[in-house]
Amino acid sequence: MAGKIILASSSPRRADILGKCNLKFEIMPSPYIEDHTTTVFSYDFIETLAYNKANAVLPLLSEPSIVIGADTVVVLDNEILGKPDGEQGAFDMLKKLSGKTHFVVTSIVVINSETNEVKKNSTTSYVTFEDLTDEQIYYYIRNFKPFDKAGSYGIQEMPDGYIKSYTGDLENIIGISSSSLTELLKKAE
């Protein structure tokens, strides 16, 4: 078994979830620059992003490791809603999501640096927003500053009256499914 577990992400939400899994891991943010030119959703595209994030960390390793790369996207009408470009971008995204059901996909790729074996998995969850007023949207943006979040929101911080319902894995919506990750890590040993 490769030695260390490396999370190739600077996401505090992913680190929190891994911490709750009682995993000993180190954070090594990936130097990979994400491609934001594609806005049409496909599982292959998201899994490739997660792979590229993990793979970019391999040359930085000083010892055998298991590297975890992940990418989360919010998808409405087959369009990827990435991280917003400022307050207006966040407003426009949340306005699009208002009153609708969208899905959230997190792809996880695990690479064993000793064997170069790659394991991957994508988890899909669904979120339905309430009909939001412009005032609610601006309140959320100004108080929670969701500029580093896909789709311009974090479900774990949404005030009451914003999310109507969700189905599937909540951790997946937040940023990484611990159950999916645990299965991948077992396969990567």
- Which whole number is the average pLDDT over 170-182? 95
Cα dihedral: 187, 107, 62, 115 (round 10): 40
Q: Is the pLDDT of residue 125 over 90?
A: yes
DSSP state, residue 33 = P
Instruction: Just list the catalytic residues.
Output: 71
pLDDT tens digits, 76-124:
999 999 899 999 999 999 999 999 999 999 999 999 999 999 999 999 9
Which 3 state secondary structure label does DSSP give 171? helix
**Nearest Cα to Cα of residue 160 among 136, 142, 143:** 136
Q: What is the pTM of this model?
A: 0.92
From the CB of residue 138, how many other CB atoms can be counted at a distance below 10 Å?
15
The model's confidence at residue 28, banded by pLDDT at 50, 70 and 90, is very high
